[in-house]
A = this chain, B = another copy of it.
């Protein structure tokens, strides 16, 4: 370190005073330009309390002179996926994948097609899937998402996403992400927040596309967790195989558990849309200080879907609405708060 000092002194004496002034002015101009360029970081949002809550939270927690300032290391924001950052109707996309995969596997494995719950899932389609018990879902998950290496699973998921199309819009599922939520993620990241997914879907399912679609790297994906098995391939290379053993059901009370396991802190901000996110928002708030808890409400049948307490998928009971009001959580109305829902609108 000491050896570098003479060079530094030379570099300062080398500057003429007028050039120093020009340098300072350039810096000022750069700052002013940056400030202008930052006008409205949430263009897909209508003006209103939800948008204001997000902007106020980011301002307060990143301004060192604000009493609510949060040091950069603690800036963690968690997002549910299905129904919060992309469409979840008429069925959660990870479940659609399992069903599609089951159909594919059943072609070559009649013994699979003939056994329950697979037989009735194959014939009953989405309605049967909506009524499936946790046990059915664990079996479906084991049959379709385990037994291959973690890399193979990622490849299978990406191949499906490349060709599968949503029934309503005829688009890839990865185009059904909510533009306003992408903007929130980007705004938070631009202010030093790490954005995490905390989803009920399988961790390795979401990891297959989270970085490309949402800018969220694999180490920031908390999902329903299953075990893997360590071993070696034929060439002696170390591999991990997906195992049909559930480690954590990352839904409801499982979300704070998953957050503790993978993050070890209370999120500073948490975003959800259903009763499966309640405990995550409670846990975020329990961290104290300036915390932002938000719930997306699907109330726009025209542009997306309108559902709430009555839905088997993404249930938003009245008790959750009451808890939100009581605890100061912000409810986002898709109809009122979102100017645009999808990037391609």
- Residues of A at the B interface (CB closer than 8 Å) are 1, 3-4, 7-8, 10-11, 14-16, 19, 22-23, 25-26, 29-30, 32-33, 36-37, 39, 73, 76, 150, 194, 203-204, 207, 211, 217-219, 221, 225, 227-230, 237-240, 247-248, 253-254, 256-257, 260-265, 279, 282-283, 285-286
Contact = CB atoms under 8 A, between A and B. Distances in A.
User: Which of A3, A8, A30, A264: most chain B CB closer than 10 A?
Assistant: A264
B207 A230 contact: no
A214 to B, nearest CB: 13
A264 B1 contact: no
A76 B1 CA distance: 27
A221 B263 CA distance: 9
Given A22-B19, A264-B219, A4 B240 contact: no
Contact of A11 (B11, B29, B260): B29
Query: What DSSP secondary structure best describes chain A's contact surface?
Result: helix
Contacts of A203: 261, 264
A6 to B, nearest CB: 9
A221 B264 contact: yes
A285 B238 contact: yes
A313 B1 CA distance: 39
Contacts of A248: 227, 247
Nearest to A282: B238
Given A219-B262, A240-B257, A30 B3 contact: no
17 contacts: A1-B37, A3-B36, A4-B36, A7-B36, A14-B25, A19-B19, A73-B217, A218-B264, A219-B264, A225-B261, A228-B261, A229-B253, A230-B257, A230-B279, A238-B256, A238-B279, A238-B282
B4 A260 contact: no
A221 B76 CA distance: 16
A26 B30 contact: no
A238 B286 contact: yes
A33 B19 contact: no
Contact of A30 (B11, B227, B239, B285): B11
A211 B238 CA distance: 31
A207 B73 CA distance: 14
A325 to B, nearest CB: 16
Contact of A260 (B33, B240, B264): B240
A286 B19 CA distance: 54
Given A238-B285, A247-B248, A261-B262, 4 more contacts: A11-B33, A19-B19, A207-B264, A247-B261
